[in-house]
Amino acid sequence: MFVRIHFTHGMITSLDCAGRRLDLTNPQVMGILNVTPDSFSDGGCFTGLPQALAQARRMVEEGAAIIDVGGESTRPGAAPVEAQQELDRVAPVIEAIRAELPVIISVDTSKATVMREAVALGAGFINDVRALREPGALAAAAEARVPVCLMHMAGEPRTMQDAPHYADVVAEVKAFLAERLQACAAMGMVPERLVVDPGFGFGKTVTHNLQLMRRLDELLTLDRPVLVGVSRKSTIGSLLDRPPEDRLAGSLALATLACRAGARIVRAHDVAPTVDALTLCHAVYSAQ
């Protein structure tokens, strides 16, 4: 059952992202900026700095509150890249965005060295699909003192879709995220800087993804803001028989359902229509 969400008592209403405030009283859109040659939907589109900056500018104009810069593809079957190569991809983009645009910059990485350098260059948010499990990542995130999103992923991108299995996907994802929140607390990270993401499509079948969406509100008992990334994902393609470029309607439907269930940040390729959808959803369910 979906519930109407009110941010009172222990629920935080904003994140301090390196001096820039992210308002969580309304659902916010995180614009995806992959500066990779092999991401599943937009790989190769923004590998040049002028193209990447133009796309960031466009997403800010369309209403993105955060720009998520990623230099390593995490699509199913993706091969890993070395830290220096990833840093060479994201560092110039982060510097350029920071210099020109009044927007929160997120770095989509699992590597400690990339986290440290990206934050030093102006990133105010760390988005880690491996939930700070890589060597040194937990310490690097703690030192950075910026908000961090902890995502659930079963396995690694290269193998995560090889027959994933759960007895209860929602309970197991929730338990994993709770454990990672505890690990962060043990490292001295304050809960007010932590966000959770169930990891739609990361080591999950279509049925698992549907179960997660239907019971997404159960993650709210972790008392952390929930981030959701469903944009153009393969579950939509499987159910609607659409290629990635034709999955906008499905992406908006899932984004709206996530907003209704209490997600506060939605990661999206198509910023303007996602902003519109979330604005209307929030207006309906926050109306007195």
Kindly list the distances between the CA atom of residue 184 and the CA atoms of 13, 112, 173, 263, in Å, as whole numbers in the listed order: 20, 15, 17, 21
**Position 210 in a domain:** yes
Is the pLDDT confidence value at 116 over 80? yes
How many domains are contained in the chain? 1
Supply the range of the domain harboring residue 114.
27-73+84-286
**Position 12 in a domain:** no
Helical H segments across 196-288, by residue range:
206-214, 234-240, 248-261, 271-286
Backbone angles phi, psi at 111, to 5 degrees: -95, 130
Is the pLDDT confidence value at 40 over 80? no
Handedness of CA 240, 3, 28, 134 (dihedral sign): negative
Q: How confident is the model at residue 164 (pLDDT cuts 50, 70, 90)?
A: confident
Backbone angles phi, psi at 41, to 5 degrees: -110, -45
267 catalytic per annotation: yes
Quote the pLDDT of residue 17.
Answer: 97
- Calculate the average pLDDT of the chain: 91
Handedness of CA 207, 223, 120, 113 (dihedral sign): negative
Beta partners for residue 195, in sequence order = 149
Is the pLDDT confidence value at 44 over 70? no
Is the pLDDT confidence value at 41 over 70? no
**Position 15 in a domain:** no
260 catalytic per annotation: no
**Position 78 in a domain:** no
**Position 176 in a domain:** yes
- Which of 204, 224, 233, 260 is an active site residue? 233
Quote the pLDDT of residue 10.
Answer: 47
Choose among 86, 71, 5, 2: nearest CA to 32. Answer: 71
- pTM for the structure as a whole: 0.92
Quote the pLDDT of residue 286.
Answer: 87
Is the pLDDT confidence value at 171 over 80? yes
**Position 21 in a domain:** no
The β-bridge relationship of strands 66-70 and 104-108 is parallel
Cα(158)–Cα(202) distance, rounded to whole angstroms?
11
Is the pLDDT confidence value at 207 over 70? yes
Q: What is the CATH number of the domain that holds 190?
A: 3.20.20.20
- On whether the CB atoms of residues 264 and 227 are closer than 8 A, the answer is yes
- On whether the CB atoms of residues 146 and 123 are closer than 8 A, the answer is yes
Is the pLDDT confidence value at 52 over 70? yes
**Position 3 in a domain:** no
Place of tokens 């929030």: 282
**Position 5 in a domain:** no
